[in-house]
Amino acid sequence: MKHIIIGNGPAGVVAAETLRRLRPEAEIALIGDEAEPPYSRMAIPYFLQGNIDAHGTHLRKSHDHFATHGIHLIEGRVACIDSAVKQIQFQSGERLHYDKLLIATGSHPVRPNIPGIDLANVHTCWTLDDARAIAAKAKPGSRVVQLGAGFIGCIIMEALAARGVQLTVVELGDRMVPRMMTPQAGAMIKRWVEAKGVAVHVNTAITAIERNGDALRVKVGAGGTALDADLVISAAGVRPNVDFLAGSGVEIGLGIRVDRGMRTSVPDIYAAGDVTEAPGFHSGAPQLNAIQPNAADQGRIAAINMAGGNAELQGSLAINVLDTLGLISTSFGHWQGKGDGVELVDEARFRYLSLQFEDDVLIGATCIGWTDHVGALRGLIQTRTKLGAWKARLKADPTQFMAAYLATAPKAA
C-alpha cells in the first residue's frame, strides 16, 4: 500500500506518523516544496525574534526522525493529480503512483492587488526564507510598514518590535484581528500595541507602494497620506493552495471540500489542514479554518481513515491564541455569539472576557489577559456541555468558567 502525502506541515507530518503507527508495513512518502525539513510556521515569529534558530522551528527535532519511522521525505512541487490512474505528477514531470493520497498543501499568503506590491523590500512573512530576509532588513530604527493586522500580522509584531524597528500597521478592517476578536477586544489590543509604540491605522487601505530612493513610500487611505518605509511586510491573509488540483476532479470551494472523515469528492483522495473546507463545528457547513491544532487533528483523522479506520471530525472549531507584545488573547468557537452572552471589560488593566451561549451551552468565548485554564473553554464548547444552573452563574460572573467546567463537564461523561 502506497500512501502519499503532499505537504509537510503539521497536518502532513501528523498524518504520516499516524499512518506509520497504524500501518507498520505501508510505504509512506511526504512531499514538501521548500528546501527545509518539515517546520512550523507557528514558530517563525520566535525565529524572527532570534529566540530560536532554524532547528527550533522544526516539527520534529531528531535528525533521523522521519528515516527511523520509514517516512520517505521528498522535496518537490506537485503540478497536478491524475486521479483516473492514481498518480501525481511533479513539476519536473516525474510521476508517482498512490493507493491513498492526502493533500495537506496548506495555504499561501494573499498578495493584495496594490501597485508596487512586487517591489524589492516588500515581503510576505510566511516561510523561513521570508523570515531570514526580513531579519536581514529589519534593523533597529528601520521604518517598517505592515499591511494587515490579522493573526499573522499580529504574531510577528512582537518579533519586529523586539528588533527595534519603528512599526506602523495598516489594517483594512475596523479593528485589529477582526476575524478572531470582538470589537471590544480588538480595540483593547490596538490600545495596547499603540501604548507599546506601534502606530496602528484601522479602516484604512494601502493604496500604493512606490520607490523613494533606497526606501519606499507607502500611500495610505483615500487621501493618500504617505508613509516612508525601509521595509513593507504584507500580511493580508492566506488562501488554500489548490491551484494544482485543476482538472483532478476534487471538489473545491474556497478550499478542498471534505466530509467529516476528511475524504474529498474523489475516492482515495483525502485532505487535511489549512487547505480544506471542513464542516464547521456549529454550522456543519464547509468552512476554512487555518489554525495549527485543527491541522494536526485533521491530519490524524485523515490518516486513520486512509489506514482503513473510521474516524470522524466533530466539526472544525475555530480556536486562536495571540500574543501581541505581551498581551495574550484567545478566542474560541462562535465567539461572535448569537445574542446571548456576557462581556466583562477592564480597560485599565487590559483584561477582557466574553462568553457566548446558545440555550445553556457555551458556543464561543474571547479572552484577553487570561492564560490560566483557558483550554477549558474549548472543553466546554466542544463537549456541548449543558451548563444548567451554571449558565446563570456565568452570566453573573463569567470569571467562574473554570469552576463551571469542573462542575459540569466531567459529569457529562
Partner 1 sequence: MQKSLHIDANKCTGCLQCEMACSYENYGVFNPSRSRIKVFNFEHEGRKVPYTCTQCADAWCMNACPVDAIRIDAATGAKVVNEATCVGCKVCTIACPFGTINYVAETGKVQKCDLCGGEPACAAACPTGAITYVDADWTGFDKMRVWAAKTDTAPRAAA
Partner 2 sequence: MGWTRKILRVDLTNGTCKSEPLNMEWAQQYLGQRGLATKYFVSEVDPKVDPLSPANKLIMTTGPLTGTAASTGGRYSVVTKGALTGAIACSNSGGFFGAELKFAGWDMIIFEGKSPKPVYLSIENDKAELKDASHLWGKTTWQTEEIIKKTHQDPQIRVCSIGRAGENGVLYACIVNDLHRAAGRSGVGAVMGSKNLKAVAVRGTLGVSGIKDFKAFLAATAAGKKVLAENAVTGQGLPKYGTQVLMNVINEIGALPTRNHRDVQFEEASKISAEAMYEKRPTDGKTHLVTNAACFGCTIACGRISRIDETHFSVVNKPEYWGASGGLEYEAAWALGAANGVGDLEALQFANMICNEDGMDPISFGATVGAAMELYELGILKKEDIGMEAPFGSAKALCELAQMTAKGEGFGKELGLGSARLCAKHGRPELSMGVKQQEFPAYDSRGIQGMGLAYATSNRGACHLRGYTVASEVLGIPVKTDPLVTEGKAALVKAFQDATAVFDSSGLCIFTSFAWGLPDIQPQIAAACEGDWSLEKLNEVGERIWNLERQFNLAAGFTAKDDDLPPRLKTEPAKTGPAKGLVNGIDKMKPEYYQLRGWDADGRPTGDTLKRLGL
Binding-site ranges for partner 1 (CB under 8 A): 10, 14, 40-43, 45-46, 51-52, 56-61, 292-293, 296-297, 300-301, 304, 309-315, 319-321, 323, 326, 328, 330, 332, 371-379, 382-383, 402-403, 405-407, 409-410, 412-413
Distance separating alpha carbons of residues 293 and 291, to the nearest angstrom: 6
Looking at this protein, which amino acid is placed at residue 129?
D
The SS3 assignment for 234 reads: strand
Instruction: Residue 399: name its binding partner from partner 2, partner 1, none (Cβ under 5 to 8 Å by kind).
Output: partner 2
Q: Is 397 in the site for partner 2 (CB under 8 A)?
A: yes
User: What are the residues facing 270 on neighbouring strands?
Assistant: 102, 263
Buried b or exposed e, range 364-379, using 16+ CB within 10 angstroms: bbbbbbbeeebebbbb
Q: Considering the complex, state which of residue 111 and residue 373 has its C-beta at the smaller distance from partner 2.
A: 373
**Contact range with partner 2 by CB under 8 A, out of 51-59, 65-73, 311-319, 344-352:** 344-352
CA 26 to chain centre: 30
> Min. distance of Cβ 349 from partner 2 in angstroms?
7
184 makes contact with partner 2 (CB under 8 A):
no
The helix/strand count (H/E) of the chain reads as: 11, 26
End-to-end CA distance of the chain: 38
Q: Should residue 351 be labelled a site residue for partner 2 when binding is judged by CB under 8 A?
A: yes
Classify strands 276-279 and 256-257 as parallel, antiparallel or unpaired.
parallel
Q: Which does 379 bind (CB under 5 to 8 A by kind): partner 2, partner 1, none?
A: partner 1
Residue 328 lies near partner 2 (rule: CB under 8 A): no
| Residue 204 contacts residue 191 (beta carbons within 8 Å) | no
SS3 of 72, please?
Answer: strand
DSSP label of 134: H
Q: Is 346 one of the binding residues for partner 2 (CB under 8 A)?
A: yes
Residue 369 binds to partner 2 (criterion: CB under 8 A): yes
- Residue 351 contact among partner 1, partner 2, none, beta carbon within 5 to 8 Å by kind: partner 2
Q: Which does 90 bind (CB under 5 to 8 A by kind): partner 1, partner 2, none?
A: none
Q: Which three cell numbers stand for residue 203?
A: 479602516
Binding-residue total with partner 2 (CB under 8 A): 13
If you count them, how many residues does the chain have?
Answer: 413
Could you say whether residue 393 binds partner 2 (CB under 8 A)?
A: no
Q: Are strands 143-147 and 276-279 parallel, antiparallel or unpaired?
A: unpaired
Residue from 89, 142, 204, 400 in contact with partner 2 (CB under 8 A): 400
Q: Is 403 in the site for partner 2 (CB under 8 A)?
A: yes
Contact residues toward partner 2 (CB under 8 A) are 344, 346, 349, 351-353, 369-370, 397, 399-400, 402-403
